[in-house]
Each structure stands twice: as structure tokens, then as C-alpha cells.
Amino acid sequence: MTGPKSDVRLEMRQISKHFGGVQALRDVTFLARAGEVHALCGENGAGKSTLMKILAGAITDFDGQIFIEGRAVAFGGPRDAEDAGVRIIYQELNLVPEMTVAANIFLGRERKRGFGWLDNRTMEAEARRLFERLGAPVSPRALVGDLRIGDQQMVEIAKALAFEAAILIMDEPTSALSDAEVARLYRVINDLRQNRHTVIYISHKMNEVFTLADHVTVLRDGGFVASAPSCETEPRQVVRWMVGREIAAMHYEPHPVSERAVLEVKAVSLPSPPLSGRPALHDLSLHVHSGEVLGVAGLLGAGRTELLEALCGASPEPPRGAILLSGVPVHFRHPREAIAAGIALVTEDRKNLGLFSEMTVAENITISHVEAMSRAGVIDRAAEARAVRHAIERLAIKTAGGGALVTSLSGGNQQKCILARWLLIEPKVLLLDEPTRGIDVGAKAEIYKLIRDLVKQGMAIIMTSSELPELLTVADRIMVLCEGRKTADLSRAEANEETIMHAATQFLDRVALAS
């Protein structure tokens, strides 16, 4: 690394960590300087999050040493790390849904006044100033559980900023943010750098890495691979370091699409839940064919998630309008009815809505298929083991085995377990809500290939994504939403980033002109 030794704020020396028989980290050394944004890159399972959990005091049983400002430190838990000036924003949100925004920000470090009473007014005022700094219209008094996931992410960021940490770790902080929110976050990060804070930035997005970072360090398979100033390397080189091989550029591959519509939606509307801030769906119609990927684009809050929830019986209220599956009207009151009919949803919120965190990899994969693998109410363990082995091989899930806790896996491998669960039931229609959120470039390529293989076998897929290049890579058609309404249905020939963004801001532009 470049720069004077005196600028080194953090040094982690020869860090190693085992989880059972799996070596998550192997003699990793990592340095970061004051006033630096340092990108930490690597595939899912490379050891990035484990290394940062050690720095944040969430993992205390490891080999190696940590020095902050040249002084050796040993953390007995996250509170010790916070007292030493280290804060972390986890990729998987760590908030209490039943508490207010302000209460979440100051949880464990509440502001108090005489006789130990909570000073809610001061906490709300400080929270309001933090959101003004972030440019985010979040009310300190709102319940976190009523916020959409993008606003919850901004609460996590505000929580970390509240105590002016000398070292701030951001683990995929933009994964649930809109473009406008990302731009605000970039301004905050640049402000932190100018004020001599150290920002360790974990991201799989090369455009983010090379927009923000002064320095890049890469891990692979738990070991150190390379470290260099960002001005002395480039994205293709970083990707090669990450995966140990070239990743071929992914392009759309034409393939036959059946003329048969598997799923038809006619004039569906959905009212907004109280206090949610989410848009309703308004007279929305669509169709998707066997062997087709229908991409759904739109800004954060456009109604993409609400649409998928309405299609599989997961919306707070039943939608109005008609939904036809293979030409037959369906009225799902619960996701189990949709699953039985052949519709499965991979949710955007992996932690709260996708995983059974107390269960093993095998149990997470087979939980929706247990009855099919049972005889007289007894699970056929041999059949279950075969199904799990096949799923792990098919999706290249990095795990010590089916008996490992699913929470021991990286975020990307957890997502693969959820995909494996639904592929086991062989659905007619697969709904994918941001399926590559928090997944590295190598795993993304694997997911794209899997999607292509599934549609070639005749499955119909509806997929949302905030990344337009991703939709242009995998979708046969792209439908665009704005404020809960369909503003475009684009063929491959018509679809490009400019056309999609124009449609995604159609009603927003009208409002801006009116004002």
C-alpha cells in the first residue's frame, strides 16, 4: 500500500478463522488509512464479511492481531469495537421492526435526562438532523417495520453515522437503495473521507468500487490475493483477482418462446397498506409465456415487489382484478395456495422473508417439498439427502454440507439455497425479486445461466431488478412501472437504458412540471 506509515489507522495481521471444518480466513493481513475509502472485494464466501465481523467484535474467537492507531486491541463483543471507534452497517439489516426509527438509531446508547428518563425529543431531533444530512425523507417517529427496505437501509446508515466512528464498515450499503439515494450516500462517504474517517466499503459492483475507493483489496477462498490503489488497477483485473479466472461478458441470447401465456393479469389493483409509504398498483395488466423471462423495471417504490406479492397471495390485501394461470382464474389467499398451483416467489428480503435461520442448509432447501418426500408421514431421508446433494451441485452452493446451519453461509450462498428450495417443486411460474442482490459477479453469471436453462425447459419467469444492464442481459421483454402503473412494455428491439428510464420517471416528470 502507498502512503506514509503514520497514516495507517487499522492493521489486521495474519487473521485466521475456522467454522467447524471450513476455513473461512487464512492468514489475512489488511491495512486501511485515515481519510481513505478502502474497497474490500471478493466472491461470496471469500471471507470479506467474516473479516469485518472480526473487526466489528461480532466474532471474537480467531487467530491473529488487530491494531488501531498502532495500539493492539482485543474486542470482547460489538460494544467494545464501537467504544474503539468501529461501526458496521451489515448487508442484512439489523433493526427492531416494532421500534421507532429514532429508538433504533440510539438503541443501547439512548439519550437520557434527569432520573434516567429517555430523552425522546433529543433523540428524534438528532435523528432528524442525520436524515437531513443523508437527504432522506424518513420520519424519526415512524415504526421501522412500516418502512420499505430502502428506507430501512437508510436507517442503518444513520445509525452508524450517529456516533461519528473513526472506522466505518459498509457491507453492500447500496443493495436496496434507489439511484437518488445512492447519490446521497456517495456525498456522505466523500464528506467522511474529507473529515479523515476511514471507510471500508464491501461491494461487488465495480462501478461503485472505482467511483468511491482510493484503494482495493481482494480476498479469494479465505485468503489474501492482492491490494492496490484504485488508480493503478481496473475493473477487469479486480474481477480476475476475485474469481481466479476471466468472467466472460454476459449478453442476451435469443431463444424460442411459446405462444402460450402461462400467467395473465388483467386490470389488477392493490391499495397501499396504512403508513407503508408504498404505492398501490393501478389497473395493471401483463402476460408471461412459457419459456419467457419478463423483466420488471422501475425506480425504488414503483410497485415491483407489490406486484410479485399480489401474484402469489402474499399481499396484505387481496388484489382486485383477474389473475389467470394456464387460462384458469385463481384467487390466492395465502402463498401456500400459490405454491400448490405452481407459482413460487424468491423474495428481495432474504433475511426476514426467505430464510429459516435456525435451520440447516438441507432443511431450508427441502422445507417446501417435505410431503413429496414422505411416506405415511415419515420423511424418506435417503430421498431428502439425494435432493439436497443435487441442489448443492446444481447451484454450486459453497457449504460444508447439508447439515451446516444456513446462517453459516455467505449471503450469496444463502440466496442459492432459497432458489434451490423453489426449483425443487418445479414451478410453472418463478417470481424473482432482485435475485442477485448482494451477489458477486461470478455468482451472478451462474444465476443468469440458471435462468436461461430454466426458460429453455419451459418455465415462465418474472424478474425484478434495480440494475438495468441485468434486465437487458436476461429478459425477453421488459415491463416498466412508475407509481404503481405500467408505463411501458418493451420488446428486445425497443429496450435500452434510456427508454426504460424515461418510462420509469414518466409520472414523476409530470409531477415535477406541474409543480
Q: How far is CA 101 from CA 105, 113, 273, 332, in A?
A: 6, 20, 19, 33
Cβ contact 368:354 at 8 Å: no
463 strand-pairing partners: 295, 432
Q: How far is CA 113 from CA 99, 125, 128, 326, in A?
A: 20, 15, 19, 63
Whether residue 513 is predicted with pLDDT greater than 50 in this model: the reply is no
∠ CA 498-502-503 to the nearest 5 degrees? 120
Scanning the structure block, which residue is given the C-alpha cell 419467457?
292
Whether residue 511 is predicted with pLDDT greater than 60 in this model: the reply is no
Looking at residue 376, its pLDDT comes to 74
If one looks up domain 269-342+428-454+461-515 in CATH, what number appears?
3.40.50.300
| Cβ burial 338-359 (10 Å sphere, 16+ → b, else e) | bbebbbbbbbbbbbeebbeeeb
Largest Cα span, the chain: 72
Whether residue 111 is predicted with pLDDT greater than 50 in this model: the reply is yes
Cβ contact 302:483 at 8 Å: yes
Coil/strand/helix, residue 356 = coil
Cα atoms in the 13 Å half-sphere on the side-chain side of 350: 26
Whether residue 278 is predicted with pLDDT greater than 70 in this model: the reply is no
Least confident of 208-217, 325-334, 346-355: 346-355
Whether residue 58 is predicted with pLDDT greater than 90 in this model: the reply is yes
Domain extent listing, the chain: 5-243, 269-342+428-454+461-515, 350-426
Cα gap 495→279, rounded to integer Å: 25
Cα gap 457→475, rounded to integer Å: 16
Cα gap 302→299, rounded to integer Å: 5
Cβ contact 38:200 at 8 Å: yes
CATH class for the region spanning 5-243: alpha beta
Which tens digit of pLDDT belongs to each residue from 117-164?
999 999 999 999 999 888 888 999 999 988 877 788 888 888 888 887
Q: In what order do the strands lie in the sheet with 22-33?
A: 22-33, 8-19, 63-68, 71-73
What is the CB neighbour count within 10 angstroms for residue 96?
12
Cα gap 58→267, rounded to integer Å: 49
Strand-strand pairing, 22-33 and 8-19: antiparallel
Residues whose CB falls within 8 Å of the CB of residue 502, separated by 6 or more in sequence, listed in order:
none
Banded model confidence at residue 279, pLDDT cuts 50, 70, 90: low
Whether residue 365 is predicted with pLDDT greater than 50 in this model: the reply is yes
Whether residue 316 is predicted with pLDDT greater than 60 in this model: the reply is yes
Coil/strand/helix, residue 308 = helix
Looking at residue 229, its pLDDT comes to 96
Cβ contact 402:392 at 8 Å: yes
Looking at residue 8, its pLDDT comes to 93
Strand-strand pairing, 215-220 and 198-202: unpaired
Find, among 37, 57, 15, 96, the residue nearest to 352 by Cα: 96
Which tens digit of pLDDT belongs to each residue from 379-411?
888 888 888 999 898 888 888 889 899 988 877
Strand-strand pairing, 485-490 and 477-482: antiparallel
Please tell me if the domain spanning 5-243 has the same topology as the one spanning 269-342+428-454+461-515: yes
Cα gap 416→187, rounded to integer Å: 33
Share above pLDDT 90 across residues of the chain, in percent, rounded to a whole number? 47
Cα gap 141→112, rounded to integer Å: 17
Whether residue 510 is predicted with pLDDT greater than 60 in this model: the reply is no
Which tens digit of pLDDT belongs to each residue from 439-466?
777 778 888 888 999 999 999 999 999 8
Looking at residue 509, its pLDDT comes to 43
| Cβ burial 155-191 (10 Å sphere, 16+ → b, else e) | bbbbbbbbeebbbbbbbbbbbbbbeebbebbeebbee
Q: Which helix (H) or strand (E) holds 241?
A: helix 235-243
DSSP 407: G
Looking at residue 160, its pLDDT comes to 82
Average pLDDT for the chain = 86
Looking at residue 250, its pLDDT comes to 64
Cβ contact 55:86 at 8 Å: yes
Residues whose CB falls within 8 Å of the CB of residue 447, separated by 6 or more in sequence, listed in order:
419, 435, 436, 439
Cα gap 137→178, rounded to integer Å: 13
39 strand-pairing partners: 201, 216
Share above pLDDT 70 across residues of the chain, in percent, rounded to a whole number? 93
216 strand-pairing partners: 39, 228
Size of the chain in residues: 515
Banded model confidence at residue 246, pLDDT cuts 50, 70, 90: low
Whether residue 515 is predicted with pLDDT greater than 70 in this model: the reply is no
Least confident of 61-65, 175-179, 210-214, 218-222: 175-179
Which range of 205-209, 250-254, 489-493 scores highest in mean pLDDT? It is 489-493
The arithmetic mean of pLDDT across residues 165-190, rounded, is 83
Cα atoms in the 13 Å half-sphere on the side-chain side of 303: 25
18 strand-pairing partners: 23
Whether residue 275 is predicted with pLDDT greater than 60 in this model: the reply is no
Looking at residue 248, its pLDDT comes to 54
76 exposed, middle or buried (CB, 10 Å; 0-12, 13-18, 19+)?
Answer: exposed
